[in-house]
Amino acid sequence: MREAMLYKKLPNSRVQCNICQWRCTIGQNKFGVCRMYQNREGVLYNLNYAQASSVAADPIEKKPLFHFFPGTLAFSLGGWGCNFHCQDCQNWEISCPESGEPWRGSREVQPQEAVELVKRYQCQGIAWTYNEPGTWFEYTLDSAKLAKENDLYTVYVTNGYLTPEALDAIGPYLDAWRVDIKGFSDSLYRNLAKVTRWRGILEVAKRAKTKWNMHVEVVTNIIPTMNDDDQQLEGIANWIRDELGELTPWHVTRFYPHHHMRHLPPTPITTLEHAYDIGQKAGLKFIYAGNVPGHKSENTICYSCGKLVVQRFGYQANAVGLEGSKCKFCGAELNFRASEAERRSS
């Protein structure tokens, strides 16, 4: 347990948490929406510091991040809880724990040990993933600082709901922002995630790129009848093009029935391909259909010369045509990160 880093003390021993955009006002002994921050005697504590629910050496492609150190392993850590309560959550056992201390019995991984495990498992960096990293923000910040001291890359796999001030606290130590944009309407975010003010996600994603020069990739899990209409898909694609740039990868992934959405069918492949076409029409250069191993869009093809640059099958990647961030055949900029130098120069 650690005292929270970003909160304000209020009258009558209440506090306001400023880690994510809920900005929960929390009374004595109460919890925030994520249930991982608690007000004890007017002091806000994070309850699950270093308490990992899941630990694995994953291919970076599994996050998915396709233009970031392709073919490497990311030491992946998940905590507990979430500030969203998505109907289609694939990891609901860890993101929706019962109240109390569900992390008892989970593995304690202090930041120093995380860095040691990265090296032992021959990973090149750390990804906070599986649940929302903001629910153990202080832990990810301490670990990210240590990771950068050890020349490791750092990745947030996030719903994007951090506040700008939380982003600014971790920005100097974070290399990649793999963010969900779940849809492009108030009703979608309300019905899917019980979130009413979602547009701050867009602002923070743009800030991650422009202020902190993070590598940004966007995922939209396409759910039949929820976010598969042209209006929302065009909204996302156009926003990515205008605010993050046409070279930003957009992953349109296949939904499989989960959690409270078992009544819906898996996303038809034709729907993913339609989303792909919408992305192309908007001018995006890199659109990938996800959760469909072997799909032709898994590879990276240079938009300029048409040559194969990264060959993929599932989580395997083979960079055959990359020179730094560029196409080795024609020199076109492809927005890849594979070294610290690219972070500094892009």
Which residues bind to ligand SF4, rule: CB under 6 A? 17, 19-20, 22-24, 32-34, 37, 83, 134
- CA distances in angstroms from 188 to 60, 192, 194, 225, 246, listed in the order given: 29, 6, 9, 10, 25
Residue 26 or residue 52: which is nearer to ligand SF4 going by CB?
26
Distance in angstroms (rounded) separating the CA atoms of residues 61 and 22: 30
Residue 29 is classified by DSSP as: T
Is the CA virtual torsion 171, 199, 53, 122 positive or negative? negative
Residue 65 or 174 with smaller CB distance to ligand SF4? 174
- Cβ proximity to ligand SF4, 16 vs 299, nearer residue: 16
The closest of 166, 243, 173, 158 to 212, measured between CA atoms, is: 173
- What minimum distance in Å lies between the beta carbon of 165 and ligand SF4? 12
Measured from each CB, the residue nearest to ligand SF4 is 32
- What is the nearest approach in angstroms of ligand SF4 to the Cβ of residue 27? 12
Least separation in angstroms between CB 93 and ligand SF4: 19
Do 319 and 333 touch, CB atoms closer than 8 A? no
Q: Which is nearer to ligand SF4, 15 or 205 (CB)?
A: 15
Q: Which is nearer to ligand SF4, 83 or 131 (CB)?
A: 83
In the bound complex, what is the minimum distance in angstroms from residue 258's beta carbon to ligand SF4? 22
| Pairing label, strands 43-46, 37-40 | antiparallel
Min dist. Cβ of residue 154 to ligand SF4 (A): 19
Neighbours of 85 (CB within 10 A): 17
CB of 95 to ligand SF4, least distance (A): 12
Q: What burial class does residue 106 get, using C-beta atoms within 10 Å of its C-beta: 0-12 exposed, 13-18 middle, 19+ buried?
A: buried
Query: What is the nearest approach in angstroms of ligand SF4 to the Cβ of residue 146?
Result: 22
Q: Is 58 exposed, middle or buried (0-12, 13-18, 19+ CB in 10 A)?
A: middle
Cβ nearer to ligand SF4, comparing 84 with 173 = 84
- How far apart are alpha carbons 65 and 184 in whole angstroms? 22
Residue whose CB is less far from ligand SF4, 17 or 174: 17
Which of 141, 237 has the CB closer to ligand SF4?
Answer: 141
* Least distance between ligand SF4 and beta carbon 114 (Å): 21
Sheet containing 153-158: which strands, arranged edge to edge?
A: 54-59, 73-78, 125-128, 153-158, 176-180, 215-222, 250-254, 287-290
User: Least separation, in Å, of the C-beta of 65 and ligand SF4?
Assistant: 24
Give how far the C-alpha of residue 61 lies from the chain's centroid of Cα atoms, to the nearest Å.
13
Determine the Cα angle at 315 with ends 310 and 320, to 5°.
Answer: 20
Tokens of 168: 């600014």
Report H helices in the chain.
92-95, 111-120, 137-149, 164-170, 186-193, 200-210, 230-239, 269-282, 340-345
- Report d(CA 227, CA 262) in Å as an integer: 16
Closer to ligand SF4 at the Cβ: 24 or 272?
A: 24
